[in-house]
Amino acid sequence: MMNMCVCQHGRRICRPSYRLLRHFTASFSSYREKGLRKIFNGAEISNPGTLLIPNNLSLTPRSTDDALHRLNAEITILGRQGKLEDAKKLFDEMHQRDDVSYNSMITVYLKNKDLLGAETVFRAMPQKNVVAESAMIDGYAKVGRLDEARMVFDSMSHRNAFSWTSLISGYFSYGRIDEALHLFDQMPERNVVSWTAVVSGFARNGLMDHARKYFDLMPEKNIIAWTAMVKAYLDNDCFDEAYKLFLEMPERNVRSWNIMISGCLRVNRVNEAISLFESMPDRNHVSWTAMVSGLAQNKMIGIARKYFDLMPHKDMAAWTAMISACVDEGHMDEARLIFNLVPEKKVGCWNTMIGGYARNGDVAEALCLFVLMLRSCVRPNETTMTSVLTSCDGMVELIQAHAMVIRLGFEPNTWLTNALITLYSKSGDLCSARLVFELLKSKDVVSWTAMIVSYSNHGHGHHVLQVFASMLVSGIKPDEVTFVGLLSACSHAGLVNQGRRLFDSIKGTYNLNPKAEHYSCLVDILSRAGLMDEAMDVVSTIPPSERDEAVLMALLGACRLHGDVVMANSVGEKLLELEPSSSGGGTGRNEKIQK
């Protein structure tokens, strides 16, 4: 072919050959000059010196393009490995970037849940493209920034199915169903992914009739759509409908089987789960792990162990599921035997065992295992340290564990700090509890409540109110547990007016429903102050669902304290009206009333 195309007079290369060579240089940036020359060397040219190369056709290596391609690929690989800082450094050091560079970096940021970083790169792009715009729409939509997602969507010169579907899914995820449907109706072309997004969106909002309607309207259903509908039924507690639809599926893949088996085990349909599992044409590690963890959660440790032993390949999830099952049932010896067999123990596996010992009261074994973890060169995380802290039963152990937290370089975070506050408080060291609390930069409702309860348990009512005032100034709203601590403090300190106001604010200011514990605290506040009639009025207003023995026993104790026999009899009658199941047994209660 080359023989026919090369001009022997050296004036030009024929058009077919010229187009072919331009195609080579445009498509294969890695082609080297010697490779192209080899093509020409094969041609029979009477005068090789007469071959003329056009000035705009380069036979030199496209090293710049090669380097750029390699850098872009490396950014993507680093992002997949979770090495965000390394990817960012590489991107920042690039002397030249193309669309792929920007797209790759935006994707890396979004995969690592750094929307701000993705936003910064997106805004710096010299020219936007559909890939970057679609990625940003998806990123904004997933965190509920739907107006910004819509702005990007509306500014696009060209939209693909992914950009449409991402925004539709975002609207559904945050309950903006009308907007989702309106956008779906505007789609110029819908594919099975778009239809499936609508079906799943209705299901997430509990609208199963609409989900099924759109599923039935789908012009074409693939295995993903069928599986999504089965999962939608399972997620909305429609097991029978899910099972029926699963059996109707024209084809199934491993994911379909796994979802249905997990659904069976979640509602304790163990026989169906076993039957499906035994019928599976192909199983993967997810199938086996689902069976093991599902059976274990249904307290069927023996059968779970049988399937666990049969697993051809045990991944870390399966090992941890089996250990967790034994721990939850208090079978610590069996859990330890399995733990010892794990070939490469990850931090989650260690945490399961250490936490299990701590919950079961075996402090010594929890701490010994923690030491073994350090000797095995496995770095503990916040979960590990929280378990270690909660297992400390003395001030010496607590101080040592706290020192370990500092030595390992953990930043003060809410999880660890909350545990430390509670433990220092239990040990009677309120100064250390307060110091730890003050060092925490980002305090949540649990942190504030832990400090409030600490002061409350030690009878420091005025300190409780001071901490609560600071909590409100910081913008954190109290929850039900916070109010239990507040009202208990008022009860112990005799702060009647403050107690009344706090109780009224539960519903009036914070729109929370008072629970039995709150009523019990208020009754105790009023009773201790001798306000028996008012306490009885509170008892009469308690909703039946929140009326329990603790409230009435608090009032009965106050009657005994103040010698009010008449009211004691009235309270006793109300106690006897309660269902026996609401207490620890009728006999013991009758004895308390008679006293």
Q: Cα-atom radius of gyration of the chain, to the nearest Å?
A: 34
Q: Which residues of 273-302 are buried (b: 16+ CB within 10 A; e: fewer)?
A: bbebbeeeeebeebbbbbbbbbbbbbebbe
pLDDT at 154 over 90: yes
Give the domain range for residue 46: 2-50
What distance in Å separates the CA atoms of residue 313 and residue 219, rounded to the nearest whole number?
40
| pLDDT score recorded for residue 54 | 44
- The residues pairing with 275 across neighbouring beta strands, listed in sequence order, are none
pLDDT: is 15 or 542 the higher one? 542
Average pLDDT, rounded, for the chain: 81
Give the DSSP letter of residue 428: T
* In-domain check, residue 488: no
| pLDDT score recorded for residue 301 | 87
Q: Of 228-237, 245-254, 294-303, 496-505, which range is least confident? A: 294-303
pLDDT at 403 over 50: yes
| pLDDT score recorded for residue 574 | 65
| pLDDT score recorded for residue 47 | 44
Average pLDDT over residues 513-521: 88
Question: What's the pLDDT band for 57 if we cut at 50, 70, 90?
Answer: very low
pLDDT at 63 over 70: no
Q: Which of 363, 388, 410 is a domain's end point?
A: 410
* In-domain check, residue 327: no
What distance in Å separates the CA atoms of residue 290 and residue 285, rounded to the nearest whole number?
8
CB atoms within 10 A of CB 129: 15
Cβ(445)–Cβ(476) under 8 Å?
Answer: yes
Looking at the 3D structure of the chain, how many domains does it have?
3
| pLDDT score recorded for residue 51 | 40
| pLDDT score recorded for residue 428 | 83
Q: Of 73-87, 203-217, 260-274, which range is least confident? A: 73-87
CA distances for 68 relative to 59, 90, 238, angstroms: 19, 11, 52
pLDDT at 83 over 60: yes
Q: Of 41-55, 536-550, 569-583, which range is least confident? A: 41-55
Average pLDDT over residues 354-364: 88
What distance in Å separates the CA atoms of residue 332 and residue 67, rounded to the nearest whole number?
56
* In-domain check, residue 422: no
CA distances for 501 relative to 37, 247, 481, 490, angstroms: 91, 59, 17, 11
Question: What's the pLDDT band for 591 if we cut at 50, 70, 90?
Answer: very low
| pLDDT score recorded for residue 1 | 42
| pLDDT score recorded for residue 278 | 92
Give the DSSP letter of residue 205: T
Cβ(199)–Cβ(215) under 8 Å?
Answer: yes
Q: Which of 360, 379, 410 is a domain's end point?
A: 410
Q: Which amino acid is at 422?
A: T
pLDDT at 578 over 60: no
* In-domain check, residue 255: no
Cβ(2)–Cβ(36) under 8 Å?
Answer: no
Give pTM, 2 decimals: 0.59
* In-domain check, residue 487: no
* In-domain check, residue 75: no
CA nearest neighbour of 234 among 212, 207, 266, 210: 266
Mind giving me the DSSP string for 505-526? HHHHTT-----HHHHHHHHHHH
Cβ(497)–Cβ(465) under 8 Å?
Answer: no
Question: What's the pLDDT band for 405 if we cut at 50, 70, 90?
Answer: confident
pLDDT tens-digit map of 419-438: 888 888 888 888 988 988 88
Question: What's the pLDDT band for 393 if we cut at 50, 70, 90?
Answer: low
CB atoms within 10 A of CB 245: 20
* In-domain check, residue 205: no
Q: Which amino acid is at 92?
A: D
Average pLDDT over residues 6-14: 41
- Retrieve residue 84's tokens: 């965000």
CA distances for 46 relative to 3, 8, 41, angstroms: 10, 7, 12
H or E stretch covering 213: helix 208-217
Average pLDDT over residues 28-52: 40
| pLDDT score recorded for residue 486 | 94
pLDDT at 595 over 50: no
What distance in Å separates the CA atoms of residue 516 and residue 486, rounded to the nearest whole number?
15
Helices assigned H by DSSP within 392-495: 395-407, 414-426, 430-439, 445-457, 461-473, 480-493
pLDDT at 66 over 60: yes
- Retrieve residue 177's tokens: 């169903």
Cβ(572)–Cβ(557) under 8 Å?
Answer: no
Any idea which residue has 């110029």 for tokens? 188
Any idea which residue has 């079961």 for tokens? 360
| pLDDT score recorded for residue 571 | 66
Average pLDDT over residues 308-318: 88
Name all contacts of 31-35 with Cβ < 8 Å and 24+ positions apart: 31/62, 32/61, 33/59, 33/60, 33/61
Q: Which of 410, 434, 463 is a domain's end point?
A: 410
| pLDDT score recorded for residue 165 | 93
pLDDT at 248 over 90: yes
| pLDDT score recorded for residue 436 | 86
* In-domain check, residue 396: yes
| pLDDT score recorded for residue 448 | 93
pLDDT at 24 over 80: no
pLDDT tens-digit map of 458-500: 889 889 999 999 999 999 999 999 999 999 999 888 899 999 9
Cβ(579)–Cβ(545) under 8 Å?
Answer: no
Percentage of residues in the chain having pLDDT higher than 70: 80
